Amino acid sequence: MTSPRQAGGRRPARRRTLLPGFVVLGMLFLPPSMSGPTGPTVKDETFVTAETGGLLHIEAGECFTDPAYSPEAAEVVVLYTPCKEQAANQSYGFVHAPDGEWDPAALTTFARESCRRGFDGNWSGESASGLDFYPVMPTRRTWADGDRDVMCVVYSPEGSMNGSALPLARW
């Protein structure tokens, strides 16, 4: 998730490249835990990482698909999806982890606590019903390249969301 920052800490706009027609075919190659409606889906910090294809194209507030194998890209990718098209995930923010040595346990704790605070700040009581969150973290490799950004993502364990989950986007 490494990217140059503009003045004021904002990420520069990224171009979105959509890879056509692979999601349905790609679902055939996913493990059962990711491929079908066998009950609520639990997503955690291992669901996708900073190295998942397409993830670097997702900005705060944007929605995207669950990971699926793309024959065109020859890897597992996520795709930007307009929130109104019942996307599976929505980024609700980024937090910057402190510099230091690669420590996966400390990074996981930091990511979960930081994203929990953001989730609790956006959704409480009835508005949190049916929603959960997970962090997307740097990997050992991206950390070595200077990546310290954690993406916080909201999703519905029961399936796709019906529009944006962000409270302000509902108005």
In tens, the pLDDT along 13-68 reads 443 333 333 333 333 344 434 444 556 788 999 999 999 999 999 999 999 999 99
SS3 137: strand
> How far is it, in rounded angstroms, from Cα 143 to Cα 100?
10
150 vs 23, higher pLDDT: 150
The residue among 54, 48, 36 whose CA lies nearest residue 150 is 48
96: pLDDT strictly greater than 80: yes
> How far is it, in rounded angstroms, from Cα 17 to Cα 166?
24
Q: What is the pLDDT of residue 20?
A: 36
The residue among 13, 27, 100 whose CA lies nearest residue 58 is 13
CB 2 within 8 A of CB 147: yes
Region 145-151: mean pLDDT is 97
Q: What is the pLDDT of residue 38?
A: 56
150: pLDDT strictly greater than 60: yes
> How far is it, in rounded angstroms, from Cα 25 to Cα 72?
11
1: pLDDT strictly greater than 60: no
Distance of CA 32 to the CA centre of its chain: 20
Mean pLDDT for all residues in the chain: 81
8: pLDDT strictly greater than 50: no
140: pLDDT strictly greater than 50: yes
pTM to 2 decimals? 0.75
Q: What is the pLDDT of residue 168?
A: 66
132 vs 23, higher pLDDT: 132
Region 144-148: mean pLDDT is 96
Q: What angle do CA 125, 131, 133 make, to 5 degrees?
A: 110
SS3 74: coil
